[in-house]
């Protein structure tokens, strides 16, 4: 068996932007990896988003680097190599966790005392490993069908037969069930009070009242605000340049107006959210994340922007006046089943429910002094006394 603990995977090659395909992999000499380039062309023709192609490139980059470390190539790798790749992912640290200033962060995988949420583990998460296997499977399927590569070494799941559910494919990781990430109402009050400017308050207010994702929030423009109708325009996940209107709460538009009145000058056609320090640039995901990093540092919490989407979903699902189809439309999910991840009760709600139960007096036990008439028993059960 291959020694994974002592394996050194070289940081060779890199994912770089490319004008027509958005992202490709180039080696240290600047040469493009042609198999990945062909696969990116296929994904482009299939209408995938640039973010999806970038994600696929990074998954393939990890696989190519691993193949180089074990002395093989992608078209010579076998199922045992895929197995060892998964073993390596389970044991290797994720370089995305090693960000600047992380020395002052709590230990990876520890639990925050205020929110009860775990910090990200140091290695690759089960979902990340499963996604990598899905990307490899799609890559090898394309190469085989186009006559450019071998049959996929990634084991496939057994199909469902005779009402027996399909088994999880080999090397696919079991994804643990996580507690809901919705923020309590008390936590939201503390968080909002900890924000230092109207831009950040507007960002949080829009997210909490519309459930938009981080990328959708950053896609907003000054032109895409209709306070009269109570809607904002966003580029949805996988929208590829198209825009849709989503509703938001009236107070969101108040905070947006305050930000526009006192913040940097915003171009009507350009991005709505700009950095506050000159030179004013459009906010990216790193700048958006720093908004919560600052308030998390003051409150000792570990909130994320996606927690607000969970909070929005939790609120509308708890409202008896909202139907499931209303929640599905507001969350912009294709399937109702996706709402299950947002519908579970929060931990603070479970604690309150248990306390209500414990405060309820226990029912009185039946009295043991009850006696039945012997004549009645003889009529009901003849011969009982014989």
Q: Give the max Cα distance, the chain.
A: 104
pLDDT of residue 357: 85
Q: What's the mean per-residue pLDDT of the chain?
A: 89
User: What does the alpha-carbon distance between residue 41 and residue 195 come to, in Å, rounded to a whole number?
Assistant: 44
pLDDT of residue 370: 63
In terms of C-beta density within 10 A (0-12 exposed, 13-18 middle, 19 or more buried), how is residue 161 classed? exposed
Report field, pTM of the whole predicted structure over 0.85: no
* Overall average pLDDT of the 20-46 stretch: 95
pLDDT of residue 115: 85
SS3 state at 213? coil
**Any residues with CB less than 8 A from the CB of 27 and at least 6 apart, and which?**
12, 13, 33
SS3 state at 142? helix
Lowest mean pLDDT among 10-19, 43-52, 348-357, 362-371: 362-371
Lowest mean pLDDT among 188-197, 284-293, 321-330: 321-330
Q: Does residue 214 contact residue 285 with C-beta atoms inside 8 Å?
A: yes
φ/ψ (deg, to 5) at 282: -60, 140
How far, in Å, are 49, 52, 237, 362 from residue 143 at the CA level?
21, 19, 28, 67
Q: Give the residue among 210, 241, 240 at the shortest CA–CA distance from 225.
A: 210
Name residue 244's beta-bridge partners. Answer: 234
* Overall average pLDDT of the 116-130 stretch: 88
- Residues 247-264: tens digit of each pLDDT: 999 999 999 999 999 999
Which tokens in the block code for residue 239? 């929208």
Lowest mean pLDDT among 25-34, 193-202, 302-311, 372-381: 372-381
How far, in Å, are 36, 60, 313 from residue 133 at the CA level?
15, 10, 30
* Overall average pLDDT of the 172-196 stretch: 89
H-run or E-run covering 244 = strand 244-247
- Residues 36-51: tens digit of each pLDDT: 999 999 999 998 888 8
DSSP readout, 97-119? G--TTGGGSPPTT-B-TTT-PBP
Most confident of 150-159, 162-171, 276-285, 323-332: 276-285
In terms of C-beta density within 10 A (0-12 exposed, 13-18 middle, 19 or more buried), how is residue 250 classed? exposed
Which tokens in the block code for residue 132? 């990598």
User: What does the alpha-carbon distance between residue 37 and residue 24 come to, in Å, rounded to a whole number?
Assistant: 6
User: What does the alpha-carbon distance between residue 377 and residue 381 come to, in Å, rounded to a whole number?
Assistant: 6
Comparing 386 with 269, which gets the higher pLDDT? 269
pLDDT of residue 363: 76
């Amino acid at each position: 068996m291959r020694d994974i603990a002592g394996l050194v995977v070289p940081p060779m090659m890199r994912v770089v932007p490319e004008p027509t395909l958005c992202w490709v992999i180039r080696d240290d000499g600047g040469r493009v990896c042609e198999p990945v380039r062909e696969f990116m062309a296929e994904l482009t023709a299939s209408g995938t988003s640039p973010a999806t192609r970038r994600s696929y490139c990074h998954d393939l980059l990890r696989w190519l680097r691993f193949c180089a470390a074990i002395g093989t190539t992608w078209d010579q790798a076998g199922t045992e190599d895929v197995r060892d790749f998964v073993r390596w992912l389970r044991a290797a640290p994720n370089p995305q966790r090693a960000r600047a200033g992380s020395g002052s962060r709590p230990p990876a995988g520890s639990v925050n005392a205020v929110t009860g949420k775990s910090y990200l583990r140091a290695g690759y998460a089960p979902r990340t490993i499963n996604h990598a296997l899905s990307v490899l499977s799609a890559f090898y399927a394309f190469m085989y069908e186009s006559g450019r590569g071998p049959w996929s070494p990634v084991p496939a799941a057994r199909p469902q037969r005779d009402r027996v559910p399909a088994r999880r494919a080999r090397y696919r990781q079991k994804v643990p069930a996580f507690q809901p990430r919705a923020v309590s109402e008390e936590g939201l009050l503390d968080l909002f009070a900890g924000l230092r400017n109207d831009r950040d308050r507007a960002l949080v207010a829009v997210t909490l009242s519309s459930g938009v994702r981080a990328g959708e929030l950053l896609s907003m423009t000054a032109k895409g605000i209709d306070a009269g109708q109570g809607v904002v325009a966003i580029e949805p996940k996988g929208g590829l340049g198209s825009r849709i209107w989503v509703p938001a709460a009236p107070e969101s538009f108040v905070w947006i107006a305050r930000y526009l009145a006192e913040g940097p000058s915003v171009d009507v056609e350009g991005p709505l959210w700009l950095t506050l320090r000159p030179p004013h640039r459009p906010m990216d995901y790193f700048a958006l994340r720093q908004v919560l990093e600052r308030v998390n540092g003051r409150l000792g919490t570990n909130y994320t922007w996606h927690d607000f989407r969970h909070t929005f979903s939790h609120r509308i699902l708890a409202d008896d006046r909202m139907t499931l189809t209303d929640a599905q439309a507001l969350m912009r999910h294709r399937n109702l089943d996706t709402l299950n991840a947002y519908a579970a009760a929060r931990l603070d709600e479970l604690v309150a429910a248990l306390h209500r139960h414990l405060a309820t007096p226990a029912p009185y036990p039946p009295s043991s002094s009850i006696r039945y008439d012997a004549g009645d028993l003889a009529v009901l059960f003849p011969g009982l006394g014989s």
